[in-house]
Structure 1
Amino acid sequence: MLAVQLVASPASATGIYEMPSSPPQTQLLDQADVISRLNEGKITKELEDLSQQTGNEVHLVVIRRLDYDESPEGFTNKLFEKWFPTPEAQANQTLLVLDKVTNQAAIRTGDQVKAVMSDAIATSMAQETLLVPLVQGDNYNQAFLDVSDRLVAVLSGRPDPGPPQVVDNVRVEGTFATAEKTEQERGNSLVWVVGLLVAATVIPMATYYFYLFLQSRA
């Protein structure tokens, strides 16, 4: 059984030669089956409309795992040049690839794309917009919906909505009392201590004198 696993594992990896020789008809190629049919259709429609309206084409690719000696950046560059072998074919193209096993992504854009989407924004797409939902809970559908929306906005010439905001739900301040609250609690404690000390002194004395009073009346 172990021998079978060792042989089968490399076969499940994706190398550049396992990819189609030309870009597929759909803008989203999900070989890892992580995107729902509903969202796949929504993303494809959004990217098709972008292509028709602006001439900018986007291809999103999800693979199960890379070959052991391949990096996301190296694989993306090879696939980009395989699908779009000339500078003219590359000019208006954007290719974003995600490796499901490692949740690592890379992006490559053509020269004409860089005029509307800088390399810094493109990197933010791959390393922030796409990866934040994955880091927060392997939400692949949300990740690709977010990156598709941002790509369409930027490549349409609209303002960049930016990466998603990362909300820190850990409220460290809640575990510590403020200085004002500490001082108030200290004052309340002091009142209680003084009150108990007075009671401990007065009550026995009052009881003793009351006892003497009763004895004198007897």
Structure 2
Amino acid sequence: MNWQVVWKRFVGCVGLGVIAIALMAMPVWATSAAEIPFPAGDSGVIDEGNVLSPITQSSLGRLLQEVAKKTGFNVHFVTVHRLDYGETPQTFVDTLFTEWFPDAAAQANQVIVALDTVTNGTAIRYGDAVAQTLSPETADSIVQETMRVPLRDGNYNQSVLDAGDRLSKVLQGEPDPGPPVIREVITEKTYKSKSETDDRSATIIVVMLLIAATVIPMVTYFIYQGSS
């Protein structure tokens, strides 16, 4: 036995084990509501998840500022990369809402839309004055439908832009454009299903048996006649 080879393999295994333990022990950084900075303006975008382009942040920010000037409602979009253990987008946004706006008077005209980029989970929270214009059904549709359709393709920019556009129209009293229409693409099937294949195989077998049942007796008869 080559002990040098054995020793090298042993050291290699120990080294891999140490690396694996170190990787498992590394902390997974999460974002809590207390870590999100208070917005500098009345409305805007806080991209802690680092998924939005500067153009998107600028465009959405201008739209939200316009909504604030026309309606008095302040809308904030917040993205985070990872939530604390056991946290959901809804509990996160609820906590953030009360952190930023501690009483009913401060909360009245505020809206926060949150997006967790790890799970693509979305949530919304808003004050009592906003609730007179924004119904729970529409609010839920905005974050669960309008935002989720682009997120299926990983398009975070389109997700917040579509949500911001729809939300701005509703808050300004314009007709709700509704959620995006999902068109089902029907493609022509170019292959046979298992059942179709099985049916075809069974038909071939039956036909072959019928042919055999007809031909074999005839061949046997002619052989018998020829021998006699």
Letter in 2 for 1:78: T
Describe the shift of the 1:3–1:51 C-alpha distance in structure 2 as closer, same or farther (beyond 3 A).
farther
Mapped to 2, the partners of 1:47 and 1:155 lie a distance apart of 11
Mapped to 2, the partners of 1:44 and 1:127 lie a distance apart of 21
Describe the shift of the 1:63–1:4 C-alpha distance in structure 2 as closer, same or farther (beyond 3 A).
farther
Mapped to 2, the partners of 1:7 and 1:63 lie a distance apart of 23
Describe the shift of the 1:131–1:23 C-alpha distance in structure 2 as closer, same or farther (beyond 3 A).
same
Q: Helix, strand or coil for the counterpart of 2:90?
A: helix
Residue correspondences, number: 171
RMSD: 1.6
TM-score, normalised by the number of residues in structure 1: 0.74
Q: Helix, strand or coil for the counterpart of 1:123?
A: helix
Q: Helix, strand or coil for the counterpart of 2:128?
A: coil
Structure 2 portions without partners, runs of 5+: 1-18, 191-228
Letter in 1 for 2:47: D
Matches within 5 A, 1:135-150: 135=152, 137-150=153-166
Return the match for 2:108 from 91, 94, 99. Answer: 91
Partner of 1:55: 72
Partner of 1:216: none
Q: 2:134–2:171: 8 Å Cα contact kept in structure 1?
A: yes
TM-score, normalised by the number of residues in structure 2: 0.71
Q: Helix, strand or coil for the counterpart of 1:175?
A: coil
Q: 2:48–2:81: 8 Å Cα contact kept in structure 1?
A: yes
How far 1:7 sits from its partner (Å)? 4.3
Letter in 1 for 2:140: T
How far 1:143 sits from its partner (Å)? 0.6
Return the match for 1:77 from 66, 81, 94. Answer: 94
Q: 2:34–2:96: 8 Å Cα contact kept in structure 1?
A: no
Return the match for 2:183 from 145, 162, 167. Answer: 167
